[in-house]
């Protein structure tokens, strides 16, 4: 891989990854790795390797990965003016929606800490102020993902051969936050909860809970990167995301983290979608998403949108239109932010290239890092940027060129 960049979403070493029961959903995740490759002409600093820490006393709390092993995180201490600021990043990696797919996931770092290796810090996790101008000196915590349900479930199950499975994402979340509070986060001056993909959805699910764990005088905000999955027919004509989420929600017993007002009127699966979650979140939140997200818009042309037919492009434009309409709730909320680009990609915070570089996607002549920083620190008012339809934004070309 040119100018080696290891995405926190997709670590180098993965064994027997099973992200879903259906082959197309596996392909969706594998295609996404394309968009974390750096162009040959781009110079970036070497990503940083940070040691892995297993959560102490996790088994006693029942806070375990799918296979019963303890969960883990990586912590890099802050320095200087950022020594008391905390950024919590929840790893992504799809979901498992059947006992078979969850069992398969126990053979990988997405279901067992036995297979975890430290992943490199880059993008919003970077300690280089040129690549990460606002958060480079913060305490950075990268929470590893091994429960298969966005840190949200609380149940047990068995595979067909009788192997016990643990769906304990919610307990993992609680155990990690408890441990970090004991390591200095209880004295935080500023905090940001974020993540990408399944980790991004987790950031939305736990946003207000995280706010409640810290004193009211401490600024707490949330950033969702590529977690705005919507219930819409894909290019194959199927409601694939809804069907997939339905399996996840019921298998993992996801209810406690879902909005109570939503559950009063709707099915839990519908309440698991970001479009419903944002209606009840009171903590200031920034939504970063592609309105042509490659994970959701499955098609034979998804590896390179330039190969899509006019009919396929029309369907993608329809997807964009629905996503933008669902985001109206966030657009109308005070102190919220948006960066919705028309780049054909998925997860943009963990890569130096897309987060903040000379070839990063831009809206209003701002990189994602600049827009997020303007929103978080109040340098500009009303940071709500929504791109025009593909192919209007030439700054997306660096991502397309990596396919």
Which positions are catalytic? 197, 293, 346
Q: What number of CA atoms fall less than 13 Å from residue 222's CA on the CB side? A: 28
Asked whether the bond before 360 is cis by omega within 30 degrees of 0, the reply is: no
Quick one: angle between helices 169-181 and 198-213, nearest 10? 50
C-alpha span between 33 and 351 (Å, rounded) = 11
C-alpha span between 136 and 134 (Å, rounded) = 6
* CA distances from residue 397 to 39, 128, 131, 300, 305 in whole angstroms, order as listed: 11, 25, 20, 20, 11
Asked whether the CA dihedral 360, 91, 269, 175 is positive or negative, the reply is: negative
C-alpha span between 344 and 249 (Å, rounded) = 28
C-alpha span between 196 and 176 (Å, rounded) = 18
C-alpha span between 254 and 272 (Å, rounded) = 8
Nearest to 360 by CA among 39, 53, 104, 74: 39
């Amino acid at each position: 891989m040119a100018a080696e960049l290891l995405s926190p979403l997709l670590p180098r070493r993965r064994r027997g990854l099973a992200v879903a029961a259906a082959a197309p959903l596996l392909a969706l995740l594998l295609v996404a790795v394309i968009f974390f490759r750096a162009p040959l002409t781009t110079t970036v600093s070497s990503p940083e390797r940070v040691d892995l820490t297993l959560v102490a006393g996790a088994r006693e709390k029942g806070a375990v990965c799918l296979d019963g092993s303890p969960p883990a995180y990586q912590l890099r201490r802050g320095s200087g003016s950022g020594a008391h600021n905390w950024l919590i990043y929840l790893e992504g990696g799809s979901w498992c929606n059947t006992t078979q797919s969850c069992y398969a996931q126990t053979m990988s770092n997405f279901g067992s800490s036995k297979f975890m290796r430290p992943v490199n810090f880059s993008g919003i996790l970077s300690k280089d102020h040129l690549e990460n101008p606002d958060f480079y000196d913060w305490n950075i915590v990268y929470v590893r993902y091994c429960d298969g349900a966005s840190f949200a479930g609380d149940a047990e199950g068995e595979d067909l051969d009788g192997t016990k499975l643990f769906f304990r994402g919610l307990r993992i979340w609680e155990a990690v936050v408890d441990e970090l509070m004991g390591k200095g986060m209880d004295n935080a001056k500023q905090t940001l909860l974020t993540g990408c993909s399944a980790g991004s959805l987790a950031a939305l699910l736990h946003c207000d809970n995280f706010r409640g764990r810290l004193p009211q005088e401490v600024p707490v905000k949330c950033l969702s990167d590529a977690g705005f999955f919507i219930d819409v027919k894909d290019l194959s004509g199927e409601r694939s995301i809804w069907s997939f989420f339905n399996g996840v929600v019921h298998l993992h017993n996801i209810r406690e983290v879902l909005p109570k007002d939503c559950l009063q009127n709707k099915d839990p699966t519908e309440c698991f979608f970001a479009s419903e979650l944002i209606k009840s979140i009171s903590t200031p939140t920034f939504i970063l998403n592609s309105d042509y997200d490659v994970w959701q818009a499955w098609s034979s042309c998804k590896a390179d949108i330039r190969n899509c037919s006019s009919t396929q492009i029309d369907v993608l434009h329809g997807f964009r239109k629905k996503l933008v309409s669902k985001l109206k709730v966030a657009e109308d909320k005070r102190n919220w932010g948006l960066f919705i680009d028309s780049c054909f990609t998925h997860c943009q915070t963990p890569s130096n290239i897309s987060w903040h570089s000379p070839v990063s996607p831009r809206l209003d002549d701002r990189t994602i890092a600049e827009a997020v920083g303007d929103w978080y620190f109040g340098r500009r008012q009303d940071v709500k940027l929504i791109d025009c339809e593909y192919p209007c934004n030439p700054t997306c070309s660096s991502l397309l060129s990596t396919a």
